[in-house]
Amino acid sequence: MVSEMNTSSTKIHPDPCDCPTATLIETNRSTLTIPRAETKTVENHSYTLYVIAYETLETKRRYSEFESFRTTLSKVYPALFVPPIPGKHSLAAYAQAHTSSRHKDEAMIEKRKRMLQRFLCRLIEHPILSKEHSLHQFLQPDVVWNDYLATLSLASSSSALKTPLLDSATSSSSSPISGESNFVSSLLGTNMSGQIIPIPTTSYTLKAPDPKYLTSESSFNNQSQHANTRFDRSQKKVLGRLEDLSNDYSEMGAVYNALSLDEVGVMANAVEQLGLSNDETSLQMRQLVTQLEIDFAEHVQEYVQRAAIAKQSIRHWHTKQAQLEMIGEALVTKQMTLQTLLKTEGQAERLQATLGQSEQQHQQQHHEGMDMNGDGDGDDDDDLASYDNIDTHSIEDGFSAVNTSSTTFPSSDNGLQNDSKGDFVSSSHDDHNNSSGDGDDENTSYPNAVSASAIRASRYRSKKWTSPRKLFNAMSSTIQGMIDVDPELTRRNQIETLKTTITQLETAKRKTLEETKQVSSSIQEELKRFEKQNEMELKRMMIAFAKTHLEFCEKNMVSWQRTRQQVDNMTISD
């Protein structure tokens, strides 16, 4: 018997929440900040707490808590573009350029502060995620986040926190019927212990995809590829080369300063000024790299992450469409299988009715013949009933060795006589039985006209399990009885199971169709917000990139103008 189908669905909108934090977010759209970070040490283990300041609230959270919070949101809202947080690997790569471990930790903490702050600000500004109660709890200082997650997991184990496609119904036993026949199994075409609701793979090709989905998928594939292979890689190369150029200027400045020590007078001053300008250029270029990482590189990384998140949500859209198609195909297959079984059941019922009529006619003819021969004394009926208790020892011969120790065999003219002990022996084959000499039971009778050698062979094969064929036949008979005790009952049970499965598939198809429409609508709205947000972010990034270079060039120009004036004032004697 299959289990009931789980009724969980893709969550699109949060449940209504009237907690104080929700009211605070709704009425006050003030800026959330992470002004500082605190490092704690417990039993030689250090960790960092990021202080979240929002209105009157001040909450401290670890990076791992941010990570679990975002994972929860992504599972609850697979159709929404949940903002990214800084990744661990990218932060490690970022810190490789720094030599001091203390400076490395400080740079990583500062970067996380900025990116985690933008993560929370985007959640508060989101029209749907800002109403999520888990966000309100995350901002509460008196809420222990791990305890809240445990409570949330227990309360939502069968609904929100589960991936909707993994909530398909499964059967509760390995086989719904104890005696399932091979014929029915071939008709079902599936293992009854498997999934009732089909689970599509990522490589599934849609047969009738939504045109909007095709447009979105193509656009984001190109955008994601451009962001990963060109935009992000190019800005990393630029920053790396600027870092190398800064080191080259520092090395060049040291060379000019050493050279000025070998000169005297005006020449020494000019060479020294040239060295100072190189040192200042090196310092300003390092500041340029740092500022570009803050105002440009971090935003490029978030841009790449957001593109990947959007692509993942579009993949979820693809999965819902694929599941809808597979449910439709499975429903058609089950309906065809049910029609085949119903047709077979109808044929079996007609055959049974025909056999019943024939048997009834045969019995009627038999009773008419009995009436014509007279009533009789009933001895024949007792003789016929005695055959049910006959124990056969061998089934491989042309006859059966019959144990008559506990049976009453009817008297007839075939040469069998009843002795004084009530046992039957063959009157025409006593010599054969006595001369066999194999120690068989005395209470064994054989048919007439049988040779002594045939009797001895039959007695030999009837001893225990001397014949392998006898053991195989017995095992086959037993297994066949276990496999299919009642084929008709098996078929009827399979018909009922198929009807239940078809009902569940029809319900799942209606529900999945509704969810697919909701996912499509939600992703379309998210794409509009994504494009608008990207335009603003790219504009801000380009302006920051240009302003940072402009400030660097202005400061650098002032330094080199002083050097030029120093060189121009230098006079060279003939």
- HEC assignment per residue over 113-135: HHHHHHHHHHHHHCCCHHHCHHH
What interhelical angle do 487-568 and 265-292 show, nearest 10? 160
How crowded is residue 521: how many other Cβ atoms within 10 Å of its Cβ?
13
CATH number of 1-174: 3.30.1520.10
Short-list 16, 34, 7, CA closest to 109: 34
Mean pLDDT of the chain: 75
- Residue 375 — very low, low, confident or very high, per pLDDT cuts 50/70/90? low
**Start-to-end CA span in the chain (Å):** 110
221 compared with 321, residue with greater pLDDT: 321
Mean pLDDT of 228-251: 89
CA R_g for the chain = 45
- Residue 509 — very low, low, confident or very high, per pLDDT cuts 50/70/90? very high
138 neighbors 69 (Cβ within 8 angstroms):
yes
Which residue spans of the chain are classified as CATH 1.20.1270.60? 215-334+486-574
Of the ranges 214-218, 229-233, 286-290, the best mean pLDDT one: 286-290
Q: Which residue is associated with the tokens 């005006």?
A: 266
Which residue spans of the chain are classified as CATH 3.30.1520.10? 1-174
Give pLDDT tens digits for 180-215: 333 333 333 333 334 677 788 888 889 989 888 888
Give the E-state strand segments of 55-148 in sequence order: 57-62
Whether this model's pTM surpasses 0.75: no
Short-list 310, 304, 307, 325, CA closest to 79: 310
CA dist 244 to 248, 284, 554, 560, 561, Å? 6, 13, 21, 20, 24
40 compared with 14, residue with greater pLDDT: 40
CATH superfamily of 215-334+486-574: Arfaptin homology (AH) domain/BAR domain (1.20.1270.60)
Helix, strand, coil distribution of the chain in percent, nearest 5: 65, 5, 30
